[in-house]
Amino acid sequence: MWNYTDKVMDHFLNPRNVGEVKDPDGSATVGNISCGDALKLTFKLDKDGKIEDAKFQTFGCGSAIASSSVLTEMIKGLTIEEAKKITNQEIVDVLGGLPEAKIHCSVMGMEALQAAIADFRGEKYEEDSETDREGNIVCHCFGVTDVKIRRIAKENNLHTVGDITHYSKAGGACGKCKDEIKEILDGIWNVKRKEVETTELPIVMTFAQKVMKVQDIIDNDIRPMLERDGGSIELVDLRENTVIVRLKGRCAVCPNSKITIRNTVETRLKECISKDLTVEEVK
């Protein structure tokens, strides 16, 4: 279950500076709606060269809204050089923290700011540096290279595939690249590969025990997580190691529902119950 700070909830429920600055000095859009997140940031300078006004428009979850909202507050009154130094970790710190799975929202805010500053300076902004693009693509869903994975892992002290996904989304769609990401991380930190231990459970679990355990995880862990973003979920059936669920609310109509099933529901059930479980959605 994700725990949001009061500051995150405040900026989500009462976002500041929503909209678009008229005749902005800097403007940029980053992300991709088809991938689930997009952010447009605009700002205007005063006569002293400081950011007088900043506004945002975002398509994303509550964390994306909160990160964008607090960012516009943070940069007001700063010079371009001062604003350019803001990192995603500073956005997270001002919010009092973000769940690990939502760190990419703060990264998107930082990238939007960097892109808007580049627009003001008449420069071309690339979300990935030229060096990042020179590598071999590992995650084809989001176009993330091995060079970029190594860079963000070292810069942010990331040791797990989940950490990489939280920062770059790599591995967050089809999941085919997760083994390669793990190999890259093992190479960086010189860690020997080993199977992930699942939560200790009785050696023999009856069908009834398994149903009750699945229902408990859905009721007390997964559903509250989805409800924070306007969605919900219900257990429909359990057929051997296949969990049948139905998404509800915003999750039911979300174009990324398959990603939610795989990366949120299935991953959590595998962690808590058995790595042999798979999850299927019914409408």
Q: State the catalytic residue, choosing from 61, 105, 139, 177.
A: 105
Residue pair 108/39 in contact (Cβ under 8 Å)? The answer is yes
E strand map for the chain: 26-32, 37-45, 51-59, 137-139, 144-145, 231-239, 242-249, 278-281
CB neighbourhood size of 259 (10 A): 18
Q: State the catalytic residue, choosing from 35, 141, 254, 272.
A: 35
CA of 276: how far to CAs of 75, 198, 201, in Å? 48, 11, 14
CA-CA-CA-CA torsion sign (62, 67, 70, 72): negative
Give dist(CA 266, CA 275) in Å, integer.
9
Helix, strand, coil shares, percent, the chain, to 5: 45, 20, 35
Query: Is 105 designated active site?
Result: yes
* Of 35, 51, 189, 206, nearest in space to 116 by CA: 51
Give dist(CA 230, CA 250) in Å, integer.
5
Give dist(CA 229, CA 264) in Å, integer.
13
Say how many Å lie between the first and final Cα of the chain, rounded: 24
Give dist(CA 146, CA 133) in Å, integer.
9
Active site residues: 35, 105
